[in-house]
Structure 1
Amino acid sequence: MQYGFSMPTRGPLANARDLAALARRGEELGFTILAVPDHLLVPHSIDSPYPYSQEGDWPGAAGGECLEQLTLMTWLAATTTSMRLLSSIMVVPHRRPVHTAKALATLDHLSGGRTILGVGTGWLRAEFEAIGTEPFDERGAVTDEYLRIFRELWTNPAPAFDGAYERFREIHFAPKPAQPGGIPVWVGGESPRALRRTVELGDGWYPIGANPKHPLNSLDRYAAHLDRLRALSEKAGRDPATITLAYWAPWFSATHPLDLGDVDRHLLTGTDAQLAEDIAGLAALGVSELVLDFRRGSLAESLEAMQRFAEEVRPQVAE
């Protein structure tokens, strides 16, 4: 199992000193992924329900801060030497695809192939409207097309595309990403459409366990979704073993409690021994990447939470 953690893009830790301290200490402790969230702005009024809480309330609505994702990922690449940089997740329709593909390819080229593109379609209509994207209600189709554009630009020596939203031909696109075949794409989401997108366009599946409509907050529930993913893969003629399995547990934090009220104990909660048992269970199902959240109220508390996991929980999994 490889372990990563979320980086703050808002709040008291979202400053150069604390971000550097978190990233460098994580690298020293053997963590391998830095996960960076994505919002370009925070509307004053939010009517869209947040999909990862029962009430639909978004914790980020309380403040207007949000560091830009790609800029922070690039800064973190220069701050670290080996950790991979994961967009967690990128709202794909927010940015024009050719520019985004270029920014990601540049990041991967300069970091020596350390980029992972975690993707989703987004949920906040007012943010889409303020940015001036393609229509919010078409975001699924837009995401699929943009992902195809990324792949075309990253892999084809003579890229060309004629789609519903974007067209180009007779262009150079260089340098390509450092990683052969382009930057790996991890598809976020738990819905049937997210599973299909993973099979059709992704290199990995990267769900959150706390979606009340599609909960993955127990090993049995995760396994049932995984069975569906593998069935879709086989139907499409794809080897399920080619899909990286990652899992994001953003509630692994004092500020993000998980309480869907429908299981006796939610996955990745409880004692150190129970956490280790859950991680071992995910690994047995094929999960190879686990992203947690050590953000606390202060840098000292965050570093302590990170170190405690590394010293008290992780060794129990390896035993």
Structure 2
Amino acid sequence: MNFGFVLPNRGPLSTREGLISLAKQGESLGFDFMAVSDHIVMPRNISSTYPYTDSGEFPGGEFVGDCLEQLTTLAFIAGATSKAQLLTSVMVTPYRSAVHAGKVIATIDVLSKGRLLIGLGAGWMEEEFKAMGLNSYASRGGVTDEYISAFKEMWTSNNPNFKGDHVSFSNIAFEPKPMQKPHPPIWTGGESPAALRRAGKYADVWYPIGNNPKHRLQKPEKLYSYFEKVKENAYEVGRDPESISLAYAASWYDERKAHTTESGDRTILTGSFDQITSDIGQLKEVGVDYLLIDVLGFDLLSSSTGESKERMEAFSTEIISRVIN
């Protein structure tokens, strides 16, 4: 299993020094990848429902306007590290023009010597779409699907040519190609039926988050049932279902106490080190190849870089070492 952690690009931890310190610490501890989320502008008032909290409220809304751009941040981190892979978690696909985004992704992959992982999603915050002058919120799923096809055309064809409802290009030379062949691995997120269809059709890795109240994936067997749907979708479009890998994202704040779901069950990856090690073993049994943890703390205002580094070290020494051994 490959282990990753979230880097901050919002709040007081997202300084130049903080990012370098966390990235280097994670790499030295043997984490396999690190991830950065995606917001470009933060609306002052958000009424859109956030998919991953029970209340529907977006955490960290107090940091109005405070966000480092995702791809720029990953390019910076690439220059400060040498081994760990770099994940867009996720890139909101419709926010950027397809050709420009494809070029930036290819550039980072080349300059990082093939370390980029491309997590792609359709987005959820209508206010951010509007703030950026985009009228594609209602069609964001279709835009995302088309962008993925366009990316693959740019990254693999010697004479890229694409004509769709949202993306069209021809008569272009697209060089250099990404270092990874045929292209950087594409991770798609989401737990809805549409997201599972997208993963089956396009993804190298399906990348759900376990705490979506509408599709809560707190039990490994339920996660596996959703992954089976992804594989069924892949088979229906003529892909090899076994070519798709499984990732899983969860928060971990090293509280050493168990949380419970609304049904009274223990929340996965909470509790003692032994309980969490057992959880990871079960995730591994159902096919999880990549586990991403958030070590930043739920309240970014009260968290520090030092505390995040301590959580990272505890996870590495007390949990990853047990899983490996």
- The TM-score, its normalising length taken from structure 1, stands at 0.96
The offset of 1:263, in angstroms, is 4.6
Q: Percent identity among equivalent residues?
A: 43
Q: 1:240 and 1:263 mapped to 2: Cα distance?
A: 34
Question: 1:165 corresponds to which letter in structure 2?
Answer: H
User: Does structure 1 conserve the Cα–Cα contact (< 8 Å) formed by 2:254 and 2:311?
Assistant: no
Q: 1:263 and 1:144 mapped to 2: Cα distance?
A: 38
The offset of 1:18, in angstroms, is 1.1
User: Does structure 2 conserve the Cα–Cα contact (< 8 Å) formed by 1:105 and 1:177?
Assistant: yes
Q: 1:208 and 1:111 mapped to 2: Cα distance?
A: 27
5 Å-filtered alignment, 1:113-192, equals 113-192=114-193
Show structure 2 runs of 5+ residues with no match.
298-302
The offset of 1:254, in angstroms, is 6.8
Partner of 2:56: 56
Partner of 2:310: 304
Question: 2:67 corresponds to which letter in structure 1?
Answer: C
Partner of 2:300: none
SS at match of 1:85: strand
Indicate yes or no: 2:16 matched with 1:16: yes
Partner of 2:287: 286
Q: 2:43 and 2:118 mapped to 1: Cα distance?
A: 25
- How many residues of Structure 1 are paired with residues of Structure 2 in the alignment? 317
Q: CA RMSD in A?
A: 1.5
The offset of 1:174, in angstroms, is 0.1
The offset of 1:261, in angstroms, is 1.5
CA separation of 1:158 and 1:62: change in aligned 2, threshold 3 A: same
CA deviation string 1:90-117 (max 9, x = no partner): 1000111100000000000111110011
SS at match of 2:10: coil
CA separation of 1:254 and 1:40: change in aligned 2, threshold 3 A: farther
User: Does structure 2 conserve the Cα–Cα contact (< 8 Å) formed by 1:212 and 1:260?
Assistant: no
Question: 2:83 corresponds to which letter in structure 1?
Answer: S
291-300 or 29-38, which deviates more: 291-300
Question: 1:199 corresponds to which letter in structure 2?
Answer: G
CA separation of 1:268 and 1:238: change in aligned 2, threshold 3 A: same
The offset of 1:236, in angstroms, is 2.7
Partner of 2:96: 95
User: Does structure 2 conserve the Cα–Cα contact (< 8 Å) formed by 1:117 and 1:184?
Assistant: yes
5 Å-filtered alignment, 1:218-237, equals 218-237=219-238
Question: 1:19 corresponds to which letter in structure 2?
Answer: L
The offset of 1:32, in angstroms, is 1.1
The offset of 1:226, in angstroms, is 1.6
Question: 2:210 corresponds to which letter in structure 1?
Answer: G
SS at match of 1:279: helix
CA deviation string 1:20-66 (max 9, x = no partner): 01000111100011100000011011111111111111013111211
CA separation of 1:134 and 1:202: change in aligned 2, threshold 3 A: farther
Question: 1:317 corresponds to which letter in structure 2?
Answer: V
The offset of 1:132, in angstroms, is 1.4
User: Does structure 1 conserve the Cα–Cα contact (< 8 Å) formed by 2:234 and 2:240?
Assistant: yes
User: Does structure 1 conserve the Cα–Cα contact (< 8 Å) formed by 2:23 and 2:34?
Assistant: yes
Q: 2:153 and 2:97 mapped to 1: Cα distance?
A: 15
CA deviation string 1:201-249 (max 9, x = no partner): 1111001001000111111211221222222223333222201211111
Q: 1:304 and 1:45 mapped to 2: Cα distance?
A: 34
Question: 2:309 corresponds to which letter in structure 1?
Answer: L
User: Does structure 2 conserve the Cα–Cα contact (< 8 Å) formed by 1:210 and 1:258?
Assistant: no
User: Does structure 2 conserve the Cα–Cα contact (< 8 Å) formed by 1:108 and 1:114?
Assistant: yes
Question: 1:137 corresponds to which letter in structure 2?
Answer: A
The offset of 1:260, in angstroms, is 4.4
Q: 2:261 and 2:69 mapped to 1: Cα distance?
A: 30
Q: 2:229 and 2:29 mapped to 1: Cα distance?
A: 35
Q: 1:293 and 1:278 mapped to 2: Cα distance?
A: 16
User: Does structure 2 conserve the Cα–Cα contact (< 8 Å) formed by 1:185 and 1:203?
Assistant: yes
Question: 2:167 corresponds to which letter in structure 1?
Answer: E
The offset of 1:258, in angstroms, is 6.9
Partner of 2:38: 38
5 Å-filtered alignment, 1:240-279, equals 240-249=241-250, 251-253=251-253, 260-279=261-280
Q: 2:234 and 2:38 mapped to 1: Cα distance?
A: 29
User: Does structure 2 conserve the Cα–Cα contact (< 8 Å) formed by 1:84 and 1:116?
Assistant: yes
User: Does structure 2 conserve the Cα–Cα contact (< 8 Å) formed by 1:153 and 1:173?
Assistant: yes
Partner of 2:84: 83
Q: 1:106 and 1:218 mapped to 2: Cα distance?
A: 39
Q: 2:146 and 2:239 mapped to 1: Cα distance?
A: 20
Show structure 1 runs of 5+ residues with no match.
none
Question: 1:298 corresponds to which letter in structure 2?
Answer: S
Partner of 2:2: 2
